[in-house]
Amino acid sequence: MPNDGRARQREQTRRTLLRESRRLFATQGYGAVGLSEIVRAAGVTKGALYHHFDSKAALFRAVLEEVQQQVARTVAATAEAHDDPWTQFTAGCQAFLTAGTDPDVQRIMLVDGPSVLGWNEWRALDEAASARHLAEALTALIEGGMIAPQPVAPLTHLLSGAMNEAALWLAGSANPEDLTDARAALSRILEALRVR
């Protein structure tokens, strides 16, 4: 089946381009990386790159989506390690904050993402990747009586914005205690939502 072999080769090329682009974008930043450097690192031609991605921005978008999905998987796995819905929620929020301290995540998702794609597209991707899960968790907690009944959309946006802003702040921080302080502040905010 020659088509299967070609399909596997195309997929392998795409994965290699994503892996090498992610490494370069994370270490040097989007603006400092040229397509020639990407194809050289991936060991492919520019034609192969353009077969998969119509521009450097499209390649970056795919890398960003991959990073966001990785963060979402980390958050979900952390939450699912607990049985209690409240602990799942708080552990997931804390995992998001901690994931944002990874230099690759910071550079690609928080620093370059909004500037390369524009605020609206970045927000749409963020909403698809993590805000939807946050809204689902909040809905379940409201239905379970752990959070007072209220509209979910504004609460989701407020919490998502606060966590994204804290992650951005941590990205620019050189003080290791800032993560501990941010996690403690997030705990206090989340606990204030809980019905006693």
Residue-wise pLDDT for 78-135, tens only, equals 999 999 999 999 999 999 999 988 888 989 998 899 999 998 998 888 888 788 889 9
CA torsion angle 167 171 172 178 (round to 10) = 60
Q: How many CB atoms lie within 10 A of CB 4?
A: 8
Length of the chain: 196
- Go through the domains of the chain in sequence order and give each one's CATH number: 1-53 (1.10.10), 60-193 (1.10.357.10)
| SS3 state at 76 | helix
Strand pairing partners for 147?
A: 194
The single residue listed with the structure tokens 């705990």 is: 187
Residue 37: per-residue pLDDT: 96
- Could you read off the pLDDT of 4-49 as tens digits, one per residue? 888 898 899 999 999 999 999 999 999 999 999 999 999 999 999 9
CA distances from 64 to 21, 117, 145, 186 (A): 10, 10, 36, 25
Band the pLDDT of 2: cuts 50, 70, 90. Answer: low
Supply φ then ψ for residue 149, to 5 degrees. -55, 130
